[in-house]
C-alpha cells in the first residue's frame, strides 16, 4: 500500500507544471489603434502575458464608432497611405512614427493641418524650414511625445479643449527639462491634425 501511495504522488507531481504569468497594463486608446490587439499573449518561452487596459474605457457607442474608422488605409491602386486621427493619442503616435522613420513627406501631407501646410507652402523656403525644424529637433520632439503618450493614463498630461483646437501640455510636475511643452491639434471635419508645436 505505501508503494502505491508513493506511485500516485509521483504521478500527480509529474503531471503538474509551472507556468509563468505576467500581468501588464496597456492604455485603453491602444485598442482604438488596432482591432487585432489581444489581451493574452504567450511568449516563446511559455510565459503567459495578460494585459489590462488603463486610462478608462470607451462607451459602447464611442467604441463602435472608433472600430468603424480605419486609422491607416492604403489605396490598392496608387499605394498612397492615408492616416486618420480621432483621438489626440492617434496624432501623437503618428507623429512619433514619422519622426522615427524620418518620413517628412508623410508628416507634411497627412499629419499637418491644412493651415500649417499652407503656412509652409506660402513661404519662400517654407518646405525647407519645415524639414529643418523636424530634422534638427527630432530627438527633443520624440522625448516629449513619448512622455505625453505615456503620461496620459496617469494624469501627467493636460488636455484643453478650445472649440476646434485641443492643446496638449505636460503637467508642471511632469514637464521636466523638455525643450517643447505644448502640442496643439485642430479638428478638420471628423479628424484631428497637427496645428503647432511650442
Q: How many residues does the chain have?
A: 198
> Which pLDDT does position 152 carry in this prediction?
74
Regarding whether 43 and 125 lie in a shared domain, the answer is no
Predicted confidence band at 183 (pLDDT cuts at 50, 70, 90)? very high
* Tens-place pLDDT, residues 43-69: 777 777 766 555 445 556 666 766 767
> Which pLDDT does position 24 carry in this prediction?
63
Regarding whether 92 and 187 lie in a shared domain, the answer is yes
Regarding whether 196 and 101 lie in a shared domain, the answer is yes
What lies within 8 Å, CB to CB, of 47 at 6+ separation is: 19, 20, 21, 22
Rg of the chain over all Cα atoms, to the nearest angstrom: 23
| Residue 84 confidence (pLDDT) above 60 | yes
Regarding whether 27 and 121 lie in a shared domain, the answer is no
Q: Among 36, 54, 72, which residue terminates a domain?
A: 54
Q: Characterize the bridge pairing of strands 21-27 and 48-54.
A: parallel
**What domain range is 112 assigned to?**
87-198
* Tens-place pLDDT, residues 2-36: 554 554 454 455 555 666 666 665 555 555 444 45
Regarding whether 103 and 185 lie in a shared domain, the answer is yes
Amino acid at each position: 500500500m505505501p508503494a502505491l501511495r508513493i506511485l500516485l504522488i509521483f504521478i500527480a507531481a509529474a503531471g503538474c507544471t509551472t507556468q509563468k504569468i505576467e500581468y501588464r497594463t496597456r492604455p485603453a486608446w491602444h485598442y482604438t489603434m488596432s482591432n487585432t490587439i489581444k489581451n493574452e499573449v504567450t511568449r516563446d518561452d511559455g510565459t503567459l502575458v495578460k494585459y489590462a487596459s488603463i486610462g478608462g474605457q470607451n462607451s459602447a457607442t464611442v467604441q463602435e464608432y472608433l472600430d468603424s474608422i480605419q486609422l491607416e488605409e492604403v489605396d490598392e491602386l496608387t499605394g498612397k497611405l492615408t492616416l486618420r486621427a480621432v483621438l489626440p493619442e492617434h496624432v501623437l503616435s503618428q507623429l512619433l512614427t514619422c519622426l522615427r522613420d524620418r518620413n517628412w513627406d508623410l508628416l507634411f501631407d497627412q499629419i499637418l493641418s491644412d493651415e500649417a501646410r499652407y503656412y509652409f507652402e506660402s513661404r519662400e523656403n517654407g518646405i525647407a524650414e519645415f524639414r529643418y525644424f523636424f530634422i534638427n529637433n527630432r530627438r527633443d520632439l520624440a522625448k516629449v511625445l513619448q512622455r505625453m503618450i505615456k503620461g496620459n493614463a496617469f494624469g501627467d498630461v493636460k488636455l484643453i479643449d478650445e472649440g476646434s483646437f485641443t492643446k496638449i501640455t505636460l503637467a508642471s510636475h511632469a514637464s521636466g527639462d523638455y525643450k517643447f511643452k505644448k502640442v496643439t491639434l485642430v479638428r478638420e471635419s471628423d479628424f484631428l491634425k497637427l496645428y503647432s508645436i511650442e
